[in-house]
Amino acid sequence: MAVQPIRLFGDPVLRRPAMEVDSFDKEIRTLVRDLTDTMLAAPGAGLAAPQIGVGLRVFTWHVEGEVGHLVNPTLSLSDEVQDGPEGCLSLPDLTFDCRRALRVVADGFDMHGEPLRIEGSELLARAIQHETDHLDGVLFIDRLDAEARKAAMRAIRESEWFGLEQPVVKVSPHPTNGFGL
């Protein structure tokens, strides 16, 4: 098991768009295992590579007993929307209602480079959209209306973890092309 430290709000890697994976090698399979182990240990419904300091377009999810991963996702969203509570492992213990598409079709690849399509609704759709946002440098609090975002920022400033020293990753074992910190 390779549980990694989860980067917290304020770490610059969370705001950088991640790079596409172009090589499906042992390092990517290790990254997927690290993401899965870290997500399950947290525990969380999903985890994106930037949250462990790796700027690559890879995420994992754990929703309703199903564990999966997706590399280089592209999304097709339904016009129907859902409002519901959302949290993030990079913003511990904070939950706010966030609007998301009700259904999603996510195309990408598995860790071996094989094409993969995931179709989900409700919680799975929310998790896939949330993790794909991480790959674009977007946090769920960015999607809140002005009043809720203001409340979220206040809650972040008052949290026990805000301002704590971020973990330092000196050398990533994954090819990050300079996007890993």
25-82, pLDDT tens digit by residue?
A: 999 999 999 999 999 998 999 999 999 999 999 999 999 999 999 999 999 999 999 9
Q: Is the pLDDT of residue 109 over 80?
A: yes
**Residue 141 domain-assigned?**
yes
Show the domain range for 116.
12-158
pLDDT at residue 20, as a whole number: 96
Tell me the backbone φ, ψ of residue 167, rounded to 5 degrees.
Answer: -65, 145
Q: Is the pLDDT of residue 175 over 70?
A: no
**Residue 74 domain-assigned?**
yes
Which are the contacts of 147, defined by CB distance < 8 A and separation ≥ 6? none
**Residue 87 domain-assigned?**
yes
**Residue 143 domain-assigned?**
yes
pLDDT band at 161 (very low <50, low <70, confident <90, very high): confident
* 46, 19 contact by CB (below 8 A): no
Strand extents, DSSP E, 102-179: 103-109, 115-121
What would the pLDDT profile of 137-156 be if each residue is shown by its tens digit?
999 999 999 999 999 999 99
**Residue 2 domain-assigned?**
no
Tell me the C-alpha distance between 70 and 132, whole Å.
10
Q: Determine the average pLDDT of the residues in 122-128.
A: 96
pLDDT band at 166 (very low <50, low <70, confident <90, very high): low
**Residue 20 domain-assigned?**
yes
**Residue 168 domain-assigned?**
no
Q: Determine the average pLDDT of the residues in 104-113.
A: 97
Tell me the C-alpha distance between 115 and 93, whole Å.
35
Span between the terminal Cα atoms of the chain, in Å: 22
**Residue 56 domain-assigned?**
yes
How many structural domains compose the chain? 1
Tell me the C-alpha distance between 144 and 122, whole Å.
18
pLDDT at residue 164, as a whole number: 66
**What CATH number has the domain bearing residue 139?**
3.90.45.10
Residues involved in catalysis: 131
User: pTM (2 decimals)?
Assistant: 0.88
Q: Is the pLDDT of residue 179 over 70?
A: no
Six-digit token string for 24: 């499906």
